[in-house]
Amino acid sequence: MRRSNPEKRFKLIVTIALLCLSVIFIMPLYWTAVFSTRTLGDVFNFPPPLWFGTNFDENYARVAEVFPPWRPVMNSLIVAVPKTVGLVLVSALAGYGFARYTRAPGHRFLLLMAFATLFFPPTLALIPFFLQMSWMGWLNTFWPLIIPALASGFGVIWMYTYIGSTVPRELYEAAEMDGSRGLATFFFVVLPIIRPGLAALGVWTLIQTWSEFQLPLVILGDGSKFTVPLALTSLSRNYFSDTPAVMVATLLGLIPVFILFALLSRQFVAGLTAGAVK
């Protein structure tokens, strides 16, 4: 046997080690999928099943008896979609204002304020926000999860940086010469140019919203309004021993974000790194 180049061998070892680690990382997800297709008996066997079974339909039926399995997904969508669209628009509009009208009085101060909101821990507002929502009669509705979330300091600062670096000043002036007012320029010129940025912020917001737990837990009392994490938590608490059924429900709750990620992973990664650059 010929001795291989040590550099190459080191790289091979690293690659294989990383491959193993990545398998460990996705194993829980893989098992979630596998368990959802197995019988209760299979799941408690050793060695654990490594391949898909045929029991999915039956497991699904057991979940469906307890609650309509698509309802939490619908609830999560009802919260996440308007919130994402609104947050992206509100952020892009404010980011555009900050990026374009740098000479307006108060610009520096207001930008600083927007920046300061990044350091507002959500925890701080949780209790008074709950009380506020109860006075407004918004408890147990989706509004508290959508409307207040539209004002995202992160989104604004992110959009401000993004627009500042992608839309040159002269473009605003060209549009102004062409008879386009502030808001028209935003819709006809700025928005189309920053589409990748909108997508990045959008994916990030959607995934965050899909994960949100504490706020819905405080706001939503009625099980029929539960979003995915809440519904799954209560399901797993009540039917914990029925692992395959819990796994079916979990799988259904995960599918939408995974589809989204598969479609827009590049924007998602771009969004992550752009946020870190500021």
Partner 1 sequence: MAPVTKRKRTDRSFYLSIAPFFAIFIAFSLFPVVFSVYLGFNDWDGFSPPRFVGLDNYAEAVGDPVFRKAIGNTIWLWIVTTGSTVALALVLAVLVDEYVLFGRNYFRMVFLLPLLVAPAIAAILMRVFFTSNGGLVNLLAGSVAGEPVYFDWLNSQFWVKPLVALLVIWRWTGWHMIIFLAGLQSIPRDLYEAARVDGVGRWSIFSRITVPLLLPALAFSVMTSTLGGLQMFDEPFVLTAGTGGTNNSATTLGMYLYATAFTNFDFGLGAAVSWYIFMAIVAVSVLYRLIQKRLDMGAS
Partner 2 sequence: MARIELESVTKTFGGTQVIHGLDLAIEEGEFCVFVGPSGCGKSTLLRMIAGLEDISGGEIRIDGDRVNEDPAVERQLAMVFQSYALYPHMSVEQNMSFALRRTGTPKAEAREKVRRAAETLQLTEYLDRKPGQLSGGQRQRVAIGRAIVREPRAFLFDEPLSNLDAELRVQMRFEIAKLHQQLSATMIYVTHDQVEAMTLADKIVVLRKGRIEQVGPPARLYGDPDNLFVAGFIGSPQMNFVAVTAEADGLRLPDGSLVASPVPLDRLASGRRYTLGIRPEHLSTEGAGERLSLEVDVSENLGAANIIYGLMSGGTRVLVEDRSGRPISSGERIEVRYERTRSFLFDAEGARIRG
> What is the rounded distance in angstroms from the CA atom of residue 155 to the CA atom of residue 119?
13
Within a 10 A sphere around the Cβ of 62, how many other Cβ atoms? 16
> What is the rounded distance in angstroms from the CA atom of residue 236 to the CA atom of residue 271?
33
Closer Cβ to partner 2, 101 or 120, answer by number: 101
- For partner 2, the binding residues in 180-219 under the rule CB under 8 A are 180, 184, 188-189, 192-193
Task: Give yes or no for residue 123 binding partner 1 (CB under 8 A).
Answer: yes
Distances (CA, A) of 46 to 50, 111, 247: 11, 59, 18
> What is the rounded distance in angstroms from the CA atom of residue 131 to the CA atom of residue 44?
45
Closest listed residue to residue 196, CA positions, set 106, 113, 267, 90: 267
- For partner 2, the binding residues in 153-182 under the rule CB under 8 A are 168, 170-171, 173-180
Supply φ then ψ for residue 135, to 5 degrees: -65, -35
Tell me the closest approach of the beta carbon of residue 178 to partner 1, in angstroms. Answer: 16
Tell me the closest approach of the beta carbon of residue 163 to partner 2, in angstroms. Answer: 14
- For partner 1, the binding residues in 241-260 under the rule CB under 8 A are 243, 246-247, 250, 253-254, 257-258
Closest listed residue to residue 197, CA positions, set 98, 85, 96, 92: 92
Contact 271, 203 (CB under 8 A): yes
Task: Give yes or no for residue 98 binding partner 1 (CB under 8 A).
Answer: yes
Per CB under 8 A, the list member of 108, 213, 223, 224 interacting with partner 1 is: 213
**232 contacts which partner out of partner 2, partner 1, none, CB within 5 to 8 A by kind?**
partner 1
**174 contacts which partner out of partner 1, partner 2, none, CB within 5 to 8 A by kind?**
partner 2
Task: Give yes or no for residue 177 binding partner 1 (CB under 8 A).
Answer: no
**170 contacts which partner out of partner 2, partner 1, none, CB within 5 to 8 A by kind?**
partner 2
- For partner 1, the binding residues in 135-164 under the rule CB under 8 A are 147-148, 150-151, 153, 156
Contacting range for partner 1; rule: CB under 8 A; set: 55-63, 67-75, 77-85, 204-212: 204-212
Contact 219, 133 (CB under 8 A): yes
174: three-class secondary structure by DSSP: helix
Rounded to 5°, the CA angle 70-155-83 comes to 25
Tell me the closest approach of the beta carbon of residue 196 to partner 2, in angstroms. Answer: 11
Q: What is the DSSP string of 39-83?
A: -HHHHTSSSPP-S--S-HHHHHHHHHHHS-TTHHHHHHHHHHHHH
**90 contacts which partner out of partner 1, partner 2, none, CB within 5 to 8 A by kind?**
partner 1
Per CB under 8 A, the list member of 20, 44, 174, 263 interacting with partner 1 is: 44
Interacting residue ranges for partner 2, rule: CB under 8 A: 168, 170-171, 173-180, 184, 188-189, 192-193
